[in-house]
């Protein structure tokens, strides 16, 4: 489990002034990873690290002597078109690179190595991003008890939670090929729909397009098949966390999900943010993992003193909606949800542990979805199906428009950050996506 060290000092400043702004997502205490190139160029994509309004080009940095030892090895591993080689190196290498960059970026640092790093900066305003890893497998979990309860009430008012929910970190295997980077735009999906009073289903575009406010968890080091990962070491296998919108077609889902779960309702698009924030950067924002009084405690393989003491994270999450009418009027997106990851019923470590308890082998670059992260009150619900009571109670937007589900042209932005007294603000950037009309 990542602990506090000198890289978390809230008083630390960088010689790059943009990193010292009060509301900067990427101060010197953050240093998240991405894969980028200059916008509109035919350059190769390569790994980068955010600092202020700049990106550190790891390919260019790796060709210098600015870093030494394990930090240099890690920079070179992150210099390619995906971060998988860096992910595979493990936490000692990730920490060496973070600490090496911190020391070169801090205010007062000088010398040839610092000059070399200065020459590796590219303005974020001039770059474009791609999915930061080759994602071999994608598993979507269901870690919010509030989301599970809200959804259950729509279909099973007398018994909203299934008996296994409080015992098992529920998940299903999703589709990796349709995961895209922030800015992803995709057509309204088609599938089989069946109205309650219809005798037969029809093939048609979804009429109940929804969002799912989630976090994405990137796996670093994997494990051998048949070799479970114990909860004490589970976080050593986690490279970091990003924002995730797991778009959902609720009407397709309602018809297809029994008996084997979601299929076409969720495999058409999932959008992630460009930046992967490491668990080490999030160390000041760890909070205790607790269960409500009267709920069952996790089985022993899902329990540890460290997980109870600080296995949860207080990550603030916000969803904004931007309609075509708002865009045409020059308006910004309207907030429709605000919550925190601290409300999740299962932790990152528990997800990793349960996923491998049967011997399943994880690989560097595998992605977990947290599941929709709804909080305990309705204004903290992370999906329109919850916010509108299944479409019965439209939400009102500031310009007078109303929404039950998404309309063509609607764009959704997820933002995430950590902020508290005595710690540096850590941001995740933004995760944008837009729904286009269905194709003919």
User: For the chain, how big is the Rg over CA atoms in Å?
Assistant: 22
For 95, phi then psi, to 5°, come to: -70, -40
Give the total residue count for the chain. 440
Report whether 406 contacts 433 (CB < 8 A): no
Instruction: Write the burial class of residue 198 (CB in 10 Å: 0-12 exposed, 13-18 middle, 19+ buried).
Output: exposed
For residue 256, say whether it is annotated as part of any ligand binding site. no
Residues near 169 by beta carbon (within 8 Å), at least 6 away in sequence: 141, 142, 143, 302, 346, 350, 351, 354, 355
The dihedral region occupied by 406, where left means phi > 0, alpha psi between -120 and 50, and beta the remainder, is beta
Is 156 annotated among the ligand-binding residues?
Answer: yes
Determine whether the annotation assigns residue 379 to a binding site.
no
Determine which one of 8, 146, 147, 355 is catalytic: 147
Annotated ligand binding at 9? The verdict is no
Q: Does the annotation place 214 within a ligand binding site?
A: yes
Pairing relation of β-strands 179-181 and 270-272? parallel
* 140 marked as part of a ligand binding site: yes
The response to whether 270 counts as a known ligand-binding position is: yes
355 catalytic? Reply is: no
Q: CA-CA distance, 320 to 314, in Å (whole number)? A: 20
Report DSSP letters for 33-78, one per residue. EEEEEETT--PPPEEEEEETTEEEEHHHHHTSSSS-HHHHHHHHHT
Catalogue the long-range contacts made by 253-260 (C-beta closer than 8 Å, 24 or more residues apart): 255/191, 255/192, 255/193, 255/194, 255/201, 256/191, 256/192
Is 172 strand, coil or helix? strand
Q: Do 364 and 216 touch, CB atoms closer than 8 A?
A: no
| 185 in Cβ contact with 271 (< 8 Å) | no
Which residues are documented as binding site?
140, 142, 156, 212, 214, 246, 253, 257, 266, 270, 372
Which residues are documented as binding site for substrate?
142, 156, 253, 257, 372
Which residues are documented as binding site for Mg(2+)?
246, 266, 270
Which residues are documented as binding site for Ca(2+)?
140, 212, 214, 246
Active site amino acids? 147
């Amino acid at each position: 489990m990542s602990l506090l060290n000198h890289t978390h000092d809230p008083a630390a400043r960088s010689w790059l002034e943009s990193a010292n702004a009060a509301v900067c997502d990427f101060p010197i205490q953050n240093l998240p990873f991405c894969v980028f190139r200059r916008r509109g160029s035919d350059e190769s994509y390569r790994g980068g690290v955010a600092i202020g309004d700049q990106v550190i080009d790891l390919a260019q940095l790796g060709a210098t002597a600015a870093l030494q030892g394990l930090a240099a090895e890690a920079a070179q591993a992150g210099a390619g078109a995906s971060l998988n080689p860096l992910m595979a190196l493990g936490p000692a290498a990730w920490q060496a690179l973070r600490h090496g960059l911190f020391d070169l970026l801090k205010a007062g640092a000088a010398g040839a190595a610092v000059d070399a790093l200065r020459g590796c900066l590219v303005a974020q305003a001039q770059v474009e991003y791609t999915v930061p890893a080759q994602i071999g497998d994608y598993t979507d979990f269901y870690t919010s008890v509030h989301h599970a309860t809200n959804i259950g009430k729509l279909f099973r008012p007398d018994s909203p939670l299934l008996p296994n929910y409080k015992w098992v970190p529920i998940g299903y295997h999703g589709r990796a090929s349709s995961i895209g980077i922030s800015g992803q735009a995709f057509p309204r999906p088609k599938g089989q729909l069946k109205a309650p009073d219809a005798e037969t289903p029809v093939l048609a575009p979804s009429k109940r397009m929804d969002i799912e406010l989630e976090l994405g968890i990137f796996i670093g080091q994997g494990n051998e098949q048949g070799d479970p990962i114990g909860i004490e070491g589970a976080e050593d296998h986690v490279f970091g966390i990003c924002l995730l919108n797991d778009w959902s077609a609720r009407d397709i889902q309602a018809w297809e999900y029994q008996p084997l779960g979601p299929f076409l309702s969720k495999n058409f698009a999932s959008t992630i943010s460009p930046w992967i924030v490491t668990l080490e950067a999030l160390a000041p924002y760890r909070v205790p993992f607790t269960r409500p009084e009267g709920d069952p405690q996790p089985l022993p393989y899902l329990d540890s003193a460290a997980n109870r003491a600080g296995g949860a994270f207080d990550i603030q999450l916000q969803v904004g909606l931007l309609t075509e009418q708002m865009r045409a009027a020059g308006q910004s997106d309207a907030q429709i949800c605000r919550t925190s990851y601290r409300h999740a019923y299962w932790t990152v470590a528990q997800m990793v542990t349960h996923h491998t308890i049967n011997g399943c082998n994880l690989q560097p670059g595998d992605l977990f979805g947290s599941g929709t992260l709804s909080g305990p009150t309705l204004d903290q619900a992370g999906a329109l199906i919850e916010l509108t009571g299944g479409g019965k109670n439209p939400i009102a937007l500031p310009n007078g428009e109303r929404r039950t589900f998404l309309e063509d042209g609607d764009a959704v932005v997820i933002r995430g950050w950590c902020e508290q007294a005595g710690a540096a603000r850590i941001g995740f950037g933004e995760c944008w996506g837009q729904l286009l009309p269905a194709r003919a």
